[in-house]
Structure 1
Amino acid sequence: MRIAVDRDLCEGVGMCESMAHNFFEVDDDEVMHVLDEQPAEEHRGQVAAAVASCPVQALSLVD
């Protein structure tokens, strides 16, 4: 699994970070960074929930 980000949509809201801070981080300039683009399968539930929480649908999971 790989985390994909549409940078044109991302607004740096931070919902992903609040749900999965080990995988997402929003810096002081409200730019979101993926900390681990290919998380282990054991984290799929947490990462999928964070991806689904994005209010602008800028995140997706690619298998």
Structure 2
Amino acid sequence: MDQPPQHLDIDWTSCQAHGLCAELLPDHITLDEWGYPLVDAAPLPARTLKRARRAAADCPVLALRLAAA
């Protein structure tokens, strides 16, 4: 069974602009001038989901998560 499309979601109240997410997913996350992530709401390609899960799990404040698109 196919998994529904997923996108990245950021908890802005938790994010502290560490930038690790952009290091792990440079094709999908860039940083603004203050170091906060910029992400579009486009669904992630299936080939990226494993790295996206790792980025969410490795976020120092757990501000990044995968959500259904």
The answer for the alignment partner of 1:17 in structure 2 is 22
Structure 1 residues without counterparts, runs of 5 or longer:
none
The root-mean-square deviation of aligned C-alpha atoms, in Å, is 1.5
Higher CA-based Rg? 2
Q: TM-score with structure 2 length normalisation?
A: 0.78
Q: TM-score with structure 1 length normalisation?
A: 0.84
The structural deviation recorded for 1:36 is 5.5
Identical columns (%): 22
CA distance in 2, matches of 1:26, 1:15: 10
- Report runs of 4+ in structure 1 exceeding 4 Å deviation: none
The answer for the alignment partner of 1:55 in structure 2 is 60
CA distance in 1, matches of 2:43, 2:26: 15
